[in-house]
Amino acid sequence: MFPERLRALRRGQKMTLGELATALNNLPDADLTNRKNTAAQIGNWERNLRTPSYLEVRKLAEFFHVTTDYLSGRADQAEYDLGRIFLSGKTLTFNQESLSSEDRYELFQLMDGYLHGRQYRTTDDAVGQEELDLHFDN
């Protein structure tokens, strides 16, 4: 499970093995392992030829913003930040249709506006239906 998840995370960021190695080497705690990461090393992890140390898995989890349990296959990611997903470079689809960068931005704006507009919405308890107060005075 680890090799597949690592490969998927790296490819989702559209990174080469070398770019990931460089990024890991530039993390603030990168010197904890006392060794520089290489493209060949990460390629061996992805092909399941070698197993990374716990410290290396921790660096990967930190870099990709996932848990070590997720990387190792012990847990699925429990939470996703839609804002980060929409603004990332990852390919997104909806009902099997690819979203363009304009679509992604518009959807982000719609969701952001909806969430920020919550303070102006009220719920009618009798019907249980939301109502939008547009502040029109009669």
pLDDT digits (tens, 9 = 90+) for 55-81: 899 999 989 988 888 888 877 655 667
At residue 77, the pLDDT reads: 58
pLDDT band (50, 70, 90) for residue 44: very high
At residue 76, the pLDDT reads: 66
3-state secondary structure 35-90: CCCCHHHHHHHHCCCCCCCHHHHHHHHHHHCCCHHHHHCCCCCCCCCHHHHHHCCC
Give the start-to-end residue ranges of the domains of the chain.
2-72, 82-132
The CATH architecture to which 2-72 belongs is Orthogonal Bundle (1.10)
Mean pLDDT computed over 29-36: 68
Instruction: Residue 21: name the closest of 42, 7, 47 by CA.
Output: 42
Q: What is the pTM (predicted TM-score) of this model?
A: 0.54
Express each pLDDT in 96-106 by its tens digit.
Answer: 888 888 888 88
